[in-house]
C-alpha cells in the first residue's frame, strides 16, 4: 500500500494526536501560514483515500499509538522556502568584482557565493582570467564570515569546464602572479578553503573539469554530464590532481581504467560510484545545488568549517598530505610534456587525425 501525508489545520483545542512515526519532509508539505493553529498529520491509502484500518473518517483516538504534538511550524517553513527562492534570484544577488572580469561571474546570494565560469563559447575553458576570477572568489569566500557555502558552475548548457584553454597555452600565455602556485589550476584545485564547495556540473566536465569536481566537497550534475581524464589520448597527463585524486574518491580499479584509457564516465555512473552526490534534469541543477547548500547551512558555520578542515586534512590553507603527490606530479609532468609523444598528440589534435605514437 502506498501512503500519502495529509494535513488538518485546527485551533489549539483541536485533536492533535498524530502517528509518532510520521515526519514532515521538505517541500512535500505546502507552504501554508497557519499562525497559531495546530497541525495534524494522518495517513491514507494513496489510491482509495481510506485509512489503513479501513475507515474513511478520522481515525479514532483509541486506535492511535501514543502521539506527540506537531507544533505550528508551517509559517516558518514558508518563510524558509521564500528565502531559498530569493537566494537564486539575480535581482537580490550582490555582485562581487574580481580580476576575472566577464570570464567569471561572482554573486553573493544570501550566505551562498555563486561562482560561474562564463565562457560558454569556449566551452568554459580555463584561461588566465578564469584562474584569477575563481582564485579571488575563493579568497573572498574564506575571508568573509557571511559566506557559508560556495557553488561553482559553468555558463550555458553544454560544458561545465573543458579544461585548459589550449589556444592560450599554445601561445605561451601564463600568469606571473605568486598566488597562482598556491591556488593551482583554475585558481581552484589546490585552493583549500574552510567553506564547503559544491560543484554544480551543467555539462561535460572532462580533464580539468573533472579535476575541479574532484577538488570540490560535494557535487550535483545534470543527467547529460560526463566526466573523465582524456589527457592520455593527447599524449599528456592529468596534472591538476586527477591522477592521484580519482582513485581516492571512486574504486581504484575503476579509476585506473578511466585514467589509463581516457574514456568518459556518464553522470549516472558517476553517481553510482560516488563521484557526484546526485543527478538531476538540466532545469533543476541550480535548485538542487542551492537545496544542498541549504541543508549544509542549517548547521553551525564554525562547526561545519572545522569539520571540513579535519575531514580534508587542511592546515593553514593547504592539504599537507597531498604535498608529495603534487611534487611527484610535477616531476613526471616535466618528462611527459617534453616527450615526442606529447608533441605528436598535440599536433594530431590540431590536425584532427589519429596520433602516431613512438613511445618516446
pLDDT of residue 349: 83
pLDDT of residue 90: 64
Residues 107, 136, 231, 291: which is the catalytic one? 231
Residue 203 buriedness (CB in 10 A; 0-12 / 13-18 / 19+): buried
| 74-87 helix and 285-297 helix, angle to the nearest 10 degrees | 130
332 carries an active-site annotation? no
pLDDT of residue 236: 94
Report yes or no: 44 and 3 within 8 Å, Cβ to Cβ.
Answer: yes
pLDDT of residue 88: 60
Positions of the chain with pLDDT under 70: 1-91, 170
327 carries an active-site annotation? no
pLDDT of residue 174: 77
Bridge partners (DSSP) of residue 95 are 107
pLDDT of residue 224: 97
Measured CA to CA, the distance from residue 181 to residue 175 in angstroms comes to 10
In the predicted model, what is the mean pLDDT of the chain? Answer: 81
Residues 211, 263, 272, 322: which is the catalytic one? 211
**pLDDT tens-digit readout, 237-289:** 999 999 999 999 999 999 999 999 999 999 999 999 999 999 999 999 999 99
- Between CA 136 and CA 166, with CA 191 as vertex, the angle to 5 degrees is 80
The closest of 86, 143, 141, 150 to 114, measured between CA atoms, is 150
pTM of the entire structure?
0.76
pLDDT of residue 89: 66
Measured CA to CA, the distance from residue 285 to residue 55 in angstroms comes to 42
**Domains located in the chain, CATH noted:** 3-83 (no CATH), 88-332 (3.90.226.10)
Report yes or no: 216 and 229 within 8 Å, Cβ to Cβ.
Answer: no
Measured CA to CA, the distance from residue 216 to residue 105 in angstroms comes to 18
Report yes or no: 273 and 258 within 8 Å, Cβ to Cβ.
Answer: no
**pLDDT tens-digit readout, 63-109:** 333 334 333 333 444 444 444 444 566 668 999 999 999 999 999 99
Measured CA to CA, the distance from residue 360 to residue 349 in angstroms comes to 18
Amino acid at each position: 500500500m502506498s501512503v500519502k501525508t495529509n494535513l488538518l489545520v485546527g485551533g489549539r483545542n483541536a485533536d492533535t494526536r498524530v502517528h509518532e512515526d510520521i515526519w514532515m519532509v521538505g517541500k512535500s508539505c505546502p507552504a501554508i501560514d497557519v499562525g497559531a493553529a495546530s497541525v495534524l498529520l494522518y495517513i491514507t491509502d494513496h489510491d482509495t483515500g481510506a485509512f489503513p484500518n479501513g475507515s474513511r473518517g478520522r481515525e479514532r483516538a483509541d486506535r492511535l499509538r501514543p502521539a506527540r504534538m506537531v507544533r505550528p511550524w508551517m509559517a516558518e517553513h514558508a518563510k524558509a522556502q521564500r528565502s531559498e527562492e530569493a537566494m537564486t534570484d539575480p535581482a537580490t544577488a550582490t555582485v562581487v568584482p574580481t580580476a576575472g572580469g566577464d570570464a567569471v561571474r561572482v554573486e553573493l546570494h544570501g550566505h551562498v557565493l555563486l561562482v560561474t565560469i562564463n565562457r560558454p563559447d569556449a566551452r568554459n575553458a580555463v584561461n588566465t582570467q578564469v584562474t584569477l576570477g575563481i582564485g579571488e572568489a575563493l579568497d573572498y569566500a574564506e575571508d568573509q564570515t557571511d559566506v557559508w557555502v560556495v557553488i561553482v558552475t559553468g555558463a550555458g548548457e553544454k560544458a561545465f569546464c573543458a579544461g585548459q584553454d589550449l589556444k592560450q597555452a599554445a601561445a605561451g600565455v601564463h600568469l606571473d602572479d605568486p598566488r597562482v602556485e598556491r591556488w593551482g589550476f583554475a585558481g581552484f584545485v589546490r585552493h583549500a578553503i574552510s567553506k564547503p564547495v559544491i560543484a554544480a556540473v551543467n555539462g561535460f566536465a572532462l580533464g580539468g573539469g573533472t579535476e575541479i569536481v574532484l577538488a570540490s566537497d560535494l557535487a550535483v550534475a545534470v543527467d547529460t554530464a560526463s566526466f573523465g581524464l582524456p589527457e592520455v589520448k593527447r599524449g599528456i597527463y592529468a596534472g591538476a590532481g586527477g591522477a592521484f585524486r580519482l582513485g581516492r574518491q571512486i574504486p581504484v580499479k575503476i579509476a585506473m581504467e578511466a585514467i589509463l584509457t581516457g574514456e568518459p564516465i556518464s553522470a549516472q555512473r558517476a553517481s553510482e560510484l560516488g563521484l557526484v552526490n546526485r543527478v538531476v534534469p538540466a532545469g533543476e541543477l541550480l535548485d538542487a545545488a542551492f537545496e544542498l547548500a541549504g541543508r549544509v547551512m542549517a548547521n553551525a558555520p564554525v562547526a561545519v568549517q572545522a569539520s571540513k578542515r579535519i575531514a580534508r586534512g587542511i592546515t593553514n590553507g593547504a592539504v599537507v598530505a597531498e604535498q608529495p603527490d603534487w611534487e611527484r606530479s610535477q616531476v613526471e609532468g616535466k618528462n611527459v610534456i617534453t616527450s615526442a609523444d606529447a608533441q605528436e598528440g598535440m599536433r594530431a589534435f590540431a590536425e584532427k587525425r589519429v596520433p602516431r605514437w613512438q613511445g618516446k
